[in-house]
Structure 1
Amino acid sequence: MKKFLKFITGRLFYFALLVAAQIGFFIWLILNFVSATSFYLPILYFFVFVSVAFLINGDDHPIFIISWLLLIFIAPIIGLPFYIIFGNKRSSSKLKRQMAKYQEHYEKEMRSILPEPDAQIRQTLLQEAPNFARQSDYIRNLTGAPAWEDTAVEYFPLGEDAFAKILEEVERAEKFILFETFIIAEGEMWDTMVALLKKKVAEGVTVRLIYDDMGVIRNLPTKYDQTLKSMGIQVGVFNRIKPHLDAKLNYRDHRKILIVDGNVGFTGGINFADEYINRKIRFGHWKDTTVMLRGMGVWNLTLMFLQQWIFTTDEDLDLTAFIPTISCPSDGFVQPFGDSPLDGDNISENAYIQMINHAQRYVYITTPYLILDTQMVTALTIAAQSGVDVRIITPHFPDKWYVHMVSQSNYLNLLKAGVKVFEYTPGFMHAKMFVADDEVSIVGTTNMDYRSFYLHFECGVIFFHSSVSLAVRNDIERILEVSREVTLQDEEKVPFSRRFMRSILKLFSPLM
């Protein structure tokens, strides 16, 4: 009863209620229009024709186009208006202008006085591994984020391990803390963190926090940002939820970044809710990972945060105040990078695909969701058919049953190609990791699904010749020991009814 009362008095309930009312009114309006005029069919067909023309000539991914076409043709009275509201990208133009403001500030006023890595780094990487140099160039050319040396790294195989280290580093902060997350939920983890942040503010440390409004809508009270501001914490709420139909609702900040004094940076899968440190059991054991950088490589993470901060708050900042002040012994090459849904470049997925294509011995992957497009399926298939040991680990206990069914719909074709698929039987696999040949790895926030690849702001770190790659491989080998391998025989025995349901859900997976 208490949970029910909390739900019906929360923001999510009112948001869903108002949106449902708008959808209902919209449908009522259309149905009344249909009954009131004999010209509705020519008008409807005209708008269907125009929408299909826009779809086919646009730059959307083919699977998005197919999904929208299906919806428009199967139920044009509903599908057409939904495409006009959610399928077009006009509403993102304002967001692009806001993002361009930061880029202009950076390019014209700041680039010449901000840190840049030694040009010899690329040359060294090119001599040691031309494929890695090419992948590094791709990321830098599209994001502006270079590869760095002079950076120490540490890998944390569990959220609780990472959280303990985060508290330790935040306690040491002297100048500023930059903190960006998708989900916050009141409980032991967040209460501990916010108490420490409040303490650091009292000591004179500047704290800036960005959280995504959709990510907290179920968990935090209304106007929680004002509560934090009353503690002295500066807050930016990313893409505030407004209860009306708008394609901007799709653009979410899924990044997780925490930076202390510009010298220490964390990123990975963990949000700030108790399940991420296994203080609250939701779907069995919660498996998540984080990496910590110390030194010059943190600068890429800092710039990502500052771009999002300026984008969200419109505050002008002197970026030179956030430059790293320490240099550490190198542990290979590190290259933190970001991905944005506004630039038209699918950087995270392409970085994954490059790793798969360059692998010679093995590629190990962990992901909570396995919703794949043609390019990714092709890359995984070719690698496996070429003799590369490709292994993918997904959850055994899903957080969303319908998404898990879409993930499972990909198992059969992957298994036929020789890809090995495992489910993490102790619980929920939330870590997003790739590792190949002990030489290159990515740890970050990007799921293998359409939302992460096309609609979310994401980030990650790619490691070349770093100890992190070995740590990730060793961790995944431990995960495999407690995971269940899904065999071809298992998938061939799946009942037709279940396979049919998977196929139906897969058709609309880009719209989930």
Structure 2
Amino acid sequence: MKLKKLLSSILSSNAAFVILLLLQIGFLMLAITSLGERFVFFYFALIVLDIILVIYITNKNEPVSYRVAWIVIISVFPLLGGVSYIYIKLSQQFPKSIDMRNQKQTRELLVQDEAVMRELELSCPDSVNLARYVSDYGMYPVYRNISAEYFSLGEEQFSKLTEELEKAEHFIFLEFFIITEGYMFDVISELLIRKAKAGVDVRLMYDGIGTGMLNSVKPFRRLSENGVQCKVFNPFRPMLSSVQNNRDHRKIVIIDGHTAFNGGTNLADEYINRKERFGHWKDTAVMIRGQAVWNYTVMFLQLWKKAESAEIRKFEPVISEGITSAAGDGFIQPFSDSPLDDEPVGKSVYLELINNARSYVCITTPYLILDEEMTNALGFAAKKGVDVRIITPHIPDKWYVHMIAWNNYSRLTDMGVKIYEYTPGFIHAKTCVADGTSAVVGTINFDYRSFYLHFECGSVLYNSSVIDDIAADFEKTVSVSQLITAEDCAKRSVCKKIAGAILNIFAPLL
């Protein structure tokens, strides 16, 4: 058991990437150092290259924290740093089968109804600019919210998910970052096999590293043999490219094109508290119905395979009269964020909610690894008198991430931001509520990976009653969480403070 746990840690997404990257660069450096007396010329050439790279990186249009991390690495490790940077940049070609950058196709499939946008402008004028941004630059339109249901725990979502899957008649699309054998996966597997045998088009996509290289292929083989189409996104390859660092972190289930689930919950028993790993596991999700589900259908199919617009349109549902009734409840805008462009949609959505808040901002996130821009936004909001509260885990799943979070706690608390740790265990929820009028529920963490490296998704809600449910759940969660004070930050040992400060420098690369 201990050996398996050790191997699991070694082969985790972060560790596998770093280990294999270092091995390949090590072979390259070994080749260079074997040049004997001629090595000195190569050494000076590398120093000149490093100087050029530092100038190039300084002027590059990338996040400041990312640039600083690389400049430090190149300065401290002159032989290794520059070569590493060049290797990573040269190996960033993503498979052509990933069609996320086809903006023309996305625009053809996802057309904004301007009448809906005008209604949003009239009912929620402070949010219309955000909706237009997500529609124009994220390529995902806003819709009238016909029906949205919020789940405050993974087990609540799981119960509703199985109920809805039973109703599927045409197709079921599932996309997860992590899938692990156990009760949850067994229940879903039996249900999917039964539906596939009944003629339902069932497709399951999972991440090649997130799901883990130690997980058995047998369950997926069994699904495939029984009619369920299974696809590994960006499979792990020993010949490493930095593209291995771009993972599919999304969690989506689409049923017949009219019902969709999205949130933080993966297919693993800890997410529904049937297995304890880091104390009580708290996750959240939403279920939506109606035309807005089309956004999720398109984003799934575009990542599933390269397909023509006409082929994707075959899955556009004829929404029943009952679902399209005019008794809507605010507006909803499901969106996706891709690392293949230069538009950090997820981060921009969070920033807009924070910057526009007048009364309060409530955030839940498992990881709090912030760059200067996000830190300043949170701090400035607090300084303006906005009640900014953030809940993070008390029992972390990654010690180094928790160390970096504490490094951020100190600065945020000094600026008036209130930080809480979820005392019962691990909070994996990714939510943000502002003033009770707008909210985001999805897969996007407050860290560099989610903002820049992963495929992510979420739903922005405007003037919907479900926002009250999210806000109420936040208050309930705060009641069982521990407030982190400036005194708590000051009491930390010098070693932990130094370790956190050092790790924070390299946070964009972790």
What amino acid maps onto 1:4 in structure 2?
L
Q: Using the alignment, how far apart are the partners of 2:135 and 2:85 within structure 1?
A: 34
Q: Partner residue of 2:137?
A: 142
Shift of the 370–18 alpha-carbon distance from structure 1 to 2, 3 Å rule, reads closer
Contact kept in structure 2, 1:11 and 1:217, CA below 8 Å: no
Q: Partner residue of 1:196?
A: 191
Q: Partner residue of 1:247?
A: 242
Shift of the 491–139 alpha-carbon distance from structure 1 to 2, 3 Å rule, reads same
Q: Kindly, what percent of the aligned residue pairs are identical?
A: 43
Specify which of 150, 154, 166 is matched with residue 149 of structure 2: 154
Q: Using the alignment, how far apart are the partners of 1:290 and 1:143 within structure 2?
A: 21
Contact kept in structure 2, 1:371 and 1:509, CA below 8 Å: yes
Contact kept in structure 2, 1:159 and 1:270, CA below 8 Å: yes
Contact kept in structure 2, 1:102 and 1:307, CA below 8 Å: no
Specify which of 27, 42, 45 is matched with residue 47 of structure 2: 45
Q: Using the alignment, how far apart are the partners of 2:210 and 2:63 within structure 1?
A: 26
Q: Using the alignment, how far apart are the partners of 1:323 and 1:20 within structure 2?
A: 46
Contact kept in structure 1, 2:43 and 2:79, CA below 8 Å: no
Q: Partner residue of 2:427?
A: 429
Q: Using the alignment, how far apart are the partners of 1:44 and 1:19 within structure 2?
A: 19
Contact kept in structure 1, 2:110 and 2:140, CA below 8 Å: no
Shift of the 35–221 alpha-carbon distance from structure 1 to 2, 3 Å rule, reads farther
Query: What is the Cα deviation at residue 317 of structure 1?
Result: 6.3
Contact kept in structure 2, 1:19 and 1:244, CA below 8 Å: no
Q: Using the alignment, how far apart are the partners of 1:364 and 1:378 within structure 2?
A: 16
Q: Partner residue of 1:185?
A: 180
Q: Using the alignment, how far apart are the partners of 1:368 and 1:158 within structure 2?
A: 14
**Secondary structure, counterpart of 2:144 in structure 1:** coil
Any gaps of 5 or more consecutive residues in structure 1? none
Query: What is the Cα deviation at residue 23 of structure 1?
Result: 4.4
Task: Give yes or no for the alignment of 1:26 onto 2:44.
Answer: no
Task: Give yes or no for the alignment of 1:321 onto 2:303.
Answer: no
Q: Partner residue of 2:398?
A: 400
Specify which of 69, 80, 83 is matched with residue 81 of structure 1: 83
Q: Using the alignment, how far apart are the partners of 2:4 and 2:487 within structure 1?
A: 46
Query: What is the Cα deviation at residue 250 of structure 1?
Result: 1.1
What amino acid maps onto 2:3 in structure 1?
F
**TM-score, structure 2 as length reference:** 0.93
Query: What is the Cα deviation at residue 306 of structure 1?
Result: 1.2
Specify which of 239, 254, 258 is matched with residue 263 of structure 1: 258
Q: Partner residue of 1:4?
A: 3
**Secondary structure, counterpart of 2:441 in structure 1:** strand
Deviations 1:204-228 (A, max 9, x none): 1001111110111245224765443
Query: What is the Cα deviation at residue 37 of structure 1?
Result: 2.9
Contact kept in structure 2, 1:361 and 1:389, CA below 8 Å: yes
Higher helix residue share: 1
Contact kept in structure 1, 2:97 and 2:305, CA below 8 Å: no
Q: Using the alignment, how far apart are the partners of 1:101 and 1:493 within structure 2?
A: 48
Contact kept in structure 1, 2:145 and 2:332, CA below 8 Å: no
Task: Give yes or no for the alignment of 1:234 onto 2:232.
Answer: no
What amino acid maps onto 1:161 in structure 2?
E
Shift of the 18–334 alpha-carbon distance from structure 1 to 2, 3 Å rule, reads closer
Q: Using the alignment, how far apart are the partners of 1:162 and 1:341 within structure 2?
A: 28
Shift of the 9–487 alpha-carbon distance from structure 1 to 2, 3 Å rule, reads closer
Q: Partner residue of 1:296?
A: 291
Q: Using the alignment, how far apart are the partners of 1:34 and 1:73 within structure 2?
A: 24
Query: What is the Cα deviation at residue 102 of structure 1?
Result: 4.9
Query: What is the Cα deviation at residue 93 of structure 1?
Result: 4.0
Query: What is the Cα deviation at residue 165 of structure 1?
Result: 0.6
**TM-score, structure 1 as length reference:** 0.92
Shift of the 77–409 alpha-carbon distance from structure 1 to 2, 3 Å rule, reads same
Task: Give yes or no for the alignment of 1:70 onto 2:61.
Answer: no
Query: What is the Cα deviation at residue 323 of structure 1?
Result: 1.6
Contact kept in structure 1, 2:421 and 2:482, CA below 8 Å: yes
Shift of the 10–438 alpha-carbon distance from structure 1 to 2, 3 Å rule, reads closer
**Secondary structure, counterpart of 2:361 in structure 1:** strand
Task: Give yes or no for the alignment of 1:418 onto 2:387.
Answer: no
Q: Partner residue of 1:59?
A: 61
Q: Partner residue of 2:484?
A: 486
Contact kept in structure 2, 1:11 and 1:222, CA below 8 Å: no
Contact kept in structure 1, 2:261 and 2:285, CA below 8 Å: yes
Contact kept in structure 1, 2:143 and 2:291, CA below 8 Å: yes
Q: Partner residue of 1:438?
A: 436
